[in-house]
Amino acid sequence: MKTKQLITTLSIAALTLTACGNSDEPQTSEDQQAQGIESTEGAGTMQAGEYEIHPELGGHATLQIPADTTSEEVAPFEEYRQENNLEPVTYLTVDADNRDGTEMLKFPEITVYDEQGNAYTFEHVEDATSQWEPERSWDMDDEQFWSPDGSTITLDEYLAFESQYKELTDDTTTIVNPAERATILLAYNGDDLPEEFTRVSAMTYGLGYEEDAHPTDD
């Protein structure tokens, strides 16, 4: 008799635990994260265009992906590229409003992902276009000079190219201080950026500070 009672008691306990585990109440994203379940909220594709991000330590940034090649920030670079028959690039602008931020905003890299898992990484424009500078052999006996497209040029032409590129990049913004608002220009070497993205990841404060940007109309 005691054995039957013990079996009945254990059966009821097991049913109670099962009922608790199969609650009809939906799990929150916090519950899912605590259990190691990845939330699918926000999954899907996003159109190219205007994105925004709210950095963790204050401020706000608006990203234009891709940027208009006729815009004030982009046009001088695009004109230089076309005039010198250089490979195409895609530009991205960041309107970084750090007036209520407490740390410098940098955005050294912004990476766009497509449905196939390909990554398209944008860098500060002077880093992405460093190959646009002229080159020289530094051979004192027979020094040679090359234009950005690899053509042989004279010393005077080399100096002209060097001056032109320096003028392009001297005034670019790479850091936006607290209380400041400025535009940061980035570039990706290629013209194959897709029209739909699955993720836009920005390094807001530099390496190790990765946050996601989302379409402004979300």
The region of weakest confidence among 20-24, 163-167, 178-182 is 20-24
Output the pTM of the full model: 0.78
Taking the C-alpha atoms of residue 86 and residue 108, their distance in angstroms, rounded to an integer, is 23
Dist CA 36 CA 41 (whole Å): 15
Q: Please provide the average confidence, as pLDDT, over all residues in the chain.
A: 85
In this prediction, residues 182-209 reach a mean pLDDT of 95
pLDDT bucket at 43, cuts 50 / 70 / 90: low
Range 151-170 average pLDDT: 95
* Buried b / exposed e along 112-145 (16+ C-beta atoms within 10 A): bebeeeeebebbbbbebbeebbbbeeeeeeeeeb
Q: Could you give the CA distance from residue 104 to residue 2 in angstroms, rounded to a whole number?
A: 73
Pull the structure tokens for residue 8: 């009945």
Q: What are the phi and psi torsion angles at 215 (to 5°)?
A: -55, 140
Per-residue pLDDT of 46-94, as tens digits, reads: 999 999 999 999 999 999 999 999 999 999 999 999 999 999 999 999 9
Q: Kindly tell me if the per-residue pLDDT of 34 is higher than 50.
A: no
Note whether 107 and 96 are within 8 A (CB): yes
More confident residue, 25 or 162: 162
Cα gap 174→67, rounded to integer Å: 17
C-alpha 166: how far from its chain's center? Answer: 25
Of 101, 78, 81, 119, residue with least CA distance to 181: 101
Of 154, 203, 211, 183, nearest in space to 62 by CA: 183
Q: Give dist(CA 68, CA 184) in Å, integer.
A: 14
Domains for the chain: give ranges and CATH numbers: 50-215 (2.60.40)
Rounded mean pLDDT, 146-157? 95
**Residue 179 pLDDT > 90, yes or no?**
yes
